[in-house]
C-alpha cells in the first residue's frame, strides 16, 4: 500500500483546532497560543508559543451529532464483531447511496489524511468514508446509507475476518406481552426534536443553565448511535445492548479517528521542542485544556490539571492540599454513597495526619441525610468530599447547597463528577466547588485521561505532588524552581493522545443540546423504572427524586453475577458486584447487586429487551 504524502495536520486534528489542513507553522492571521492558552513551563524550547490558537476548539460548527470530521476507515478497522462497510456504490439496486445522515462533510484537505495501513483481514466501521470493493450489508435497512465523501481517497480492498459476525439486522424487540403491564402504563420517552425540550419530571434535567460552551444543536439517540461503531456489533449472536455506561461509555468515531490521526500526523512530545510537530501537539494539548475549562464553566484553562482520571485527581488533592491543611483532630466528611476512590484516599490521609473520616448517613431512599450533614459540620471540618451523582444509586445530591453550608464553617469541598458530566450540565462556578474531578472514559473519551478543576488560590498555595520534567522552571543541584499551575502538577509526559481524544469527545458532545440530552435521559429513566417494576421479584435500590439513569437492582432467588451472565448471553451488558461502593450497598443490607446504567445513545427498545430478558430469567 502506497502512503500518500502528508503536507500538514490531517482533517480531524485541524478541525479540532479550528483551522484548515496546514503545516504546523504559525498562521500569521491567527492569535498565538500564548494569547489563549496557559503559560507553558520554562523548559519549553523557544518557538512553542507560535502554535495556532486552540481557543475555538470547543465550539466547532459540526452538524449535530456529527462532530467535525470524516472517519478514516482503515485506521479504525478491526474491532471484533464489527460488520463490513458497504462500498460507495453498494445499496439498494446498486445505486450510489447518499451521505450518512447527520455526519459532517469532508473538511478541506481531507484528501491528505495519512494512509494508515489496514490490518489484514479486518473490516471497517459503519458510516465511514468510501471503501473500494467491500461486501454489501446483509440488511441495508440496518445501517444508514453511505456515500462517497468528496476529496477523500478510497482505501484499498479490505476483507472480513473469518468467523466474524455479520452486522445485525434490526432485531425484533421482545413482545410487549413478555413483560406484565404495570398498573400505570409506562410512557415511552419522546425524542427531543428541538433544543430546550422540558424535562419529564424533576431531577438533573430540570437544570436551566446552559451547558458551558455547547452549541444548541438538535439531539436524538439515533443521531448519537450513528456515530458509535461498537453499538452496531453482535455479542453472542445478538445485537449489543450496552447498559454498562456507569463503568465506561462507548466512543464515537470522531474520538477514535482523532486519536488515530494524532499518531498518524501529529505525534510529538509537547512543550519541549521548537519544531513544527511539537508546536502542533502542544496546540492540541492546550486546546484540550481550554475545552475542559469551557465544559466545566471554569474561568480559565489555568485552573485545569490533567490527570489519569477521577481517582488520581482525588489522590492528588489528598496528598498535596490535604497534607498541608488537614491535621490531628480535623474532620473529613464523606457521605455513605461515595465510590471507594472518594473514601480510601481520605482514610489514608487521616491515618497519616491523625484526622477523622466521618461518614454522612443516607436516608432509606438513597438521599444524603441533610439534617445529619448539617449536624456533623463543625469548626473541625476541613473538607467535604461528595459525588455529584452516585455510581450505584444514581442519587444527585444538592451539591451547591451542601457546598455553601460547608463554606460557612471554613471547610473546602471536593466534588467527584465522574458520573455526572455525561448526563447534565456542570458549572463549577455556580456550584462554588473548590475542587471538581472527572474521568474522560465516562464522557465518551479514551481511558487514562481525566481532569481536576481547582480554584486558582488553592492551586497557587499547593505544593507539587510529583517531581520531574515539565513541572519545573530551572534545576540545579543547589536549587530547583517550579513552573506555575497547572503544569506544576503534570510531571513528566502526559497522556497527549488521551487529551486529543477528550477534546474530540467534548466537541462531539457539544454538537448536541445538553439540556435535551438530560431531558431525554430523565424520560428514559422514568420509563425504565416503570417497565422494571413489572418484573416479579425485582428490587431497585434507591428512590431519590433527583437521580441519573443508574439502576442497581436485585432479582429474588438469583445471584447478581449469574443474572449478569445470563443477560450477556442475550447481548445485554450490565455490571454486577459491589460497584466500588460497598458502604452504599451495606446501607441496603447487600454486598452485591446488578447495575444497568443508561446513556444518551440508549433507547426504550433496549430497556424493553432488558425487562423481557429479566422476566425470562425469573421464570426459568
* 3-state class (DSSP) for residue 262: helix
Same domain, 394 and 464: yes
Residue 491 lies in a domain: yes
**In terms of domains, do 465 and 524 share one?**
no
Decide if 97 is inside a domain.
no
CA distance readout (Å), 598 to 192, 246, 396: 17, 8, 15
High-pLDDT (> 90) share of the chain, %: 63
Residue 470 belongs to some domain of the structure: yes
- Residue 224 is placed in which grid cell? 448519537
Among 492, 509, 526, residue at a domain's last position:
509
Same domain, residue pair 245 and 341:
no
CA angle 83, 85, 87 (to 5 degrees): 155
The confidence score (pLDDT) of residue 116 equals 32
Residue 389 and residue 457 in one domain: yes
Write the pLDDT tens digit of every residue in 350-371. 999 999 999 999 999 999 999 9
Whether 330 and 367 share a structural domain: yes
The packing angle between helices 604-619 and 514-532, to 10°, is: 20
Task: Mark which of 509, 540, 558 sits at the end of a domain.
Answer: 509
**Residue 442 CB contacts under 8 Å (≥ 6 apart), including other chains:** 245, 246, 248, 249, 418, 419, 421, 422
Spatial separation of the C-alpha atoms in residues 340 and 386, rounded to whole Å: 12
Q: Give the pLDDT confidence of 222-259 residue by residue, as tens digits.
A: 999 999 999 999 999 999 999 999 999 999 999 999 99
pLDDT tens per residue across span 69-92: 333 333 334 433 444 433 333 333
- 308 and 433 share a domain? yes
User: Cα(45)–Cα(51) distance, rounded to whole angstroms?
Assistant: 12
Q: What whole-number distance in Å separates Cα of residue 241 and Cα of residue 385?
A: 34
CATH of the domain at 240: 3.90.1150.10
Does residue 585 sit within a domain?
Answer: yes
- Give the residue among 573, 575, 527, 522 at the shortest CA–CA distance from 548: 522
How many beta carbons lie within 10 A of that of residue 529, not counting itself? 17
Residue 588 has pLDDT above 90, yes or no: yes
C-alpha cell at 439: 474521568
The answer to whether 205 and 519 are in contact (CB under 8 A) is yes
- 3-state class (DSSP) for residue 235: strand
Assess contact for 553 and 539: CB atoms under 8 A.
Answer: yes
For residue 607, what is its C-alpha cell?
A: 430497556
Q: Which residues are catalytic?
A: 580
pLDDT of residue 572: 98
C-alpha cell at 391: 455510581
Q: Which residue(s) pair with 553 in the sheet?
A: 540, 594
Specify the 3-state DSSP secondary structure of 295: helix
Report the distance separating Cα 535 and Cα 530, nearest Å. 10
502 plus 534 within the same structural domain: no
pLDDT in tens, 303-318: 999 999 999 999 999 9
281 within domain boundaries: yes
Residue partners of 37: CB distance under 8 A and separation at least 6: 53, 54, 55, 283, 286, 287, 289, 290, 301
The neighbour count for residue 590, using CB atoms within 10 Å, is 16
**Distance between CA atoms of 483 and 184, rounded to whole angstroms?**
61
> Is 51 contained in some domain?
no
Do residues 259 and 288 make contact, with C-beta atoms less than 8 angstroms apart? no
- Helix, strand or coil, per DSSP, at residue 435: strand
- Which are the contacts of 457, defined by CB distance < 8 A and separation ≥ 6? none
CATH of the domain at 481: 3.40.640.10
Arithmetic mean of pLDDT, 420-446:
97
pLDDT for the residue 185: 54
Q: What is the pLDDT of residues 370-389, one digit of tens each?
A: 999 999 999 999 999 999 99
Query: Which is more confident, 202 or 305?
Result: 305
Residue 49, all three cell numbers = 508559543
Q: Which domain holds residue 340?
A: 273-509
pLDDT at 323: 96
Task: Say whether both 479 and 555 belong to one domain.
Answer: no
Task: Give yes or no: residues 604 and 477 share one domain.
Answer: no
What's the N-to-C CA distance of the chain in angstroms? 54
Chain mean pLDDT for the chain: 77
Shared domain for 490 and 519, answered yes or no, is no
Residue 497, classified by CB atoms within 10 Å of its CB into exposed (0-12), middle (13-18) or buried (19+), is: buried
Quick one: 483 and 523 in the same domain?
Answer: no
Contact indicator for 263, 617 with CB cutoff of 8 Å:
no
Would you state the pLDDT for residue 514? 86
Query: Nearest to residue 217, comparing CAs of 49, 429, 64?
Result: 64
Residues above pLDDT 70, as percent of the chain: 67
235, 245 in Cβ contact below 8 A? no
Instruction: For residue 273, give the 3-state DSSP assignment.
Output: coil
Report the SS3 class of residue 531. helix
DSSP string, 100-115: PTTPPPPPTTGGG---
**Total of domains in the chain:** 2
Under the banding of pLDDT at 50, 70 and 90, the label for residue 213 is very low
The SS3 call for residue 215 is coil
Please say if the pLDDT value at position 2 is more than 80. no
Average pLDDT over residues 507-528: 95
Stronger pLDDT, 113 or 348, i.e. the higher one = 348
- The grid cell for 232 is 452496531
What is the band of 135 on the pLDDT scale with cuts at 50, 70, 90? very low
pLDDT tens for each residue of 40-77? 444 443 333 333 333 333 333 333 333 333 333 333 34
Say if 83 falls within a structural domain. Answer: no
User: How do residues 253-272 score in pLDDT, each as one tens digit?
Assistant: 999 999 999 999 999 999 98
Closest CA to 300 of 443, 442, 407, 460: 460
Which of the residue ranges 16-20, 82-86, 128-132 has the most confident prediction, judged by mean pLDDT?
16-20
Q: Is residue 429 part of a domain?
A: yes
User: Which of the listed residues 488, 509, 530 is the one where a domain comes to its end?
Assistant: 509
Residues 304 and 292: beta-carbon distance below 8 Å: yes
Q: In 505-590, which ranges are E strands?
A: 538-540, 550-555, 572-573, 575-577
Task: Determine the pLDDT at residue 10.
Answer: 76
Nearest to 494 by CA among 41, 29, 34: 41
Smallest CA-to-CA distance from 366 within 203, 532, 545 is with: 545
Number of helices (H) and strands (E), helices first, in the chain?
A: 17, 17
Q: Could you tell me if 406 and 391 lie in one domain?
A: yes
Amino acid at each position: 500500500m502506497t502512503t500518500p504524502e502528508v503536507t500538514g495536520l490531517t482533517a480531524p486534528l485541524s478541525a479540532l483546532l479550528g483551522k484548515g489542513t496546514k503545516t504546523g507553522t504559525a498562521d500569521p492571521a491567527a492569535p498565538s497560543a500564548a494569547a489563549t492558552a496557559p503559560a507553558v513551563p520554562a523548559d519549553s524550547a523557544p518557538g512553542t508559543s507560535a502554535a495556532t490558537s486552540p481557543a475555538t476548539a470547543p465550539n466547532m460548527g459540526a452538524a449535530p451529532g456529527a462532530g467535525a470530521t470524516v472517519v478514516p476507515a482503515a485506521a479504525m478497522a478491526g474491532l471484533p464483531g464489527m460488520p463490513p462497510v458497504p462500498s460507495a456504490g453498494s445499496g439498494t439496486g446498486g445505486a450510489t447511496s447518499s451521505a450518512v445522515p447527520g455526519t459532517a462533510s469532508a473538511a478541506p484537505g481531507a484528501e491528505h489524511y495519512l494512509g494508515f495501513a489496514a490490518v489484514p483481514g479486518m473490516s471497517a466501521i459503519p458510516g465511514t468514508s468510501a471503501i473500494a470493493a467491500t461486501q454489501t450489508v446483509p440488511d441495508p435497512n440496518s445501517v444508514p446509507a453511505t456515500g462517497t465523501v468528496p476529496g477523500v481517497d478510497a482505501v484499498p480492498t479490505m476483507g472480513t475476518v473469518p468467523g466474524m459476525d455479520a452486522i445485525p439486522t434490526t432485531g425484533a424487540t421482545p413482545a410487549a406481552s413478555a413483560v406484565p403491564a404495570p398498573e400505570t402504563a409506562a410512557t415511552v420517552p419522546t425524542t427531543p426534536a428541538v433544543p430546550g425540550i422540558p424535562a419529564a419530571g424533576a431531577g438533573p434535567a430540570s437544570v436551566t443553565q446552559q451547558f458551558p460552551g455547547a452549541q444548541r444543536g438538535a439531539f436524538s439517540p439515533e443521531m448519537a448511535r450513528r456515530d458509535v461503531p461498537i453499538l452496531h456489533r453482535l455479542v453472542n449472536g445478538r445485537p449489543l445492548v450496552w447498559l454498562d455506561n456507569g463503568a465506561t461509555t462507548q466512543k464515537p468515531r470522531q474520538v477514535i479517528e482523532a486519536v488515530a490521526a494524532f499518531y498518524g500526523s501529529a505525534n510529538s512530545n509537547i512543550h519541549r521542542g521548537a519544531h513544527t510537530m511539537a508546536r502542533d501537539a502542544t496546540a492540541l494539548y492546550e486546546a484540550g485544556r481550554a475545552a475542559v475549562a469551557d465544559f466545566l464553566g471554569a474561568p480559565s484553562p489555568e485552573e485545569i490539571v490533567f490527570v489519569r482520571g477521577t481517582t488520581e485527581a482525588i489522590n492528588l488533592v489528598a496528598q498535596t492540599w490535604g497534607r498541608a491543611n488537614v491535621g490531628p483532630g480535623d474532620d473529613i466528611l464523606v457521605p455513605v454513597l461515595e465510590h471507594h476512590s472518594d473514601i480510601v484516599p481520605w482514610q489514608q490521609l487521616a491515618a497519616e495526619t491523625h484526622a477523622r473520616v466521618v461518614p454522612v448517613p443516607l436516608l432509606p431512599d438513597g438521599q444524603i441525610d441533610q439534617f445529619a450533614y448539617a449536624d456533623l459540620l463543625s469548626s473541625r471540618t476541613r473538607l467535604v468530599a461528595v459525588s455529584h451523582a452516585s455510581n450505584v444509586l444514581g442519587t444527585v445530591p444538592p451539591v451547591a447547597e451542601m457546598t455553601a453550608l460547608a463554606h460557612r464553617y471554613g471547610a473546602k469541598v471536593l466534588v467527584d463528577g465522574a458520573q455526572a458530566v455525561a448526563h447534565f450540565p456542570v458549572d463549577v462556578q455556580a456550584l462554588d466547588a473548590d475542587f471538581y474531578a472527572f474521568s474522560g472514559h465516562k464522557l465518551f473519551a479514551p481511558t487514562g485521561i481525566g481532569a481536576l478543576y481547582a480554584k486558582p488560590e488553592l492551586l497557587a498555595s499547593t505544593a507539587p505532588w510529583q517531581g520531574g520534567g515539565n513541572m519545573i522552571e530551572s534545576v540545579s543541584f543547589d536549587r530547583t524552581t517550579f513552573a506555575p499551575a497547572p503544569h506544576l502538577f503534570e510531571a513528566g509526559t502526559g497522556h497527549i493522545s488521551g487529551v486529543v481524544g477528550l477534546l474530540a469527545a467534548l466537541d462531539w458532545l457539544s454538537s448536541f443540546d445538553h439540556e435535551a440530552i438530560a431531558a431525554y435521559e430523565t424520560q428514559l429513566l422514568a420509563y425504565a423504572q416503570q417497565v422494571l417494576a413489572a418484573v416479579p421479584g425485582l428490587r431497585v435500590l434507591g428512590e431519590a427524586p433527583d437521580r441519573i439513569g443508574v439502576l442497581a437492582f436485585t432479582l429474588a432467588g438469583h445471584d447478581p453475577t449469574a443474572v449478569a451472565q445470563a443477560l450477556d448471553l442475550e447481548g445485554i451488558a450490565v455490571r454486577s458486584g459491589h460497584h466500588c461502593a460497598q458502604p452504599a450497598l451495606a446501607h441496603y443490607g447487600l454486598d452485591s447487586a446488578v447495575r444497568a446504567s443508561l446513556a444518551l445513545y440508549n433507547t426504550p427498545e433496549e430497556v424493553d429487551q432488558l425487562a423481557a430478558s429479566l422476566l425470562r430469567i425469573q421464570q426459568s
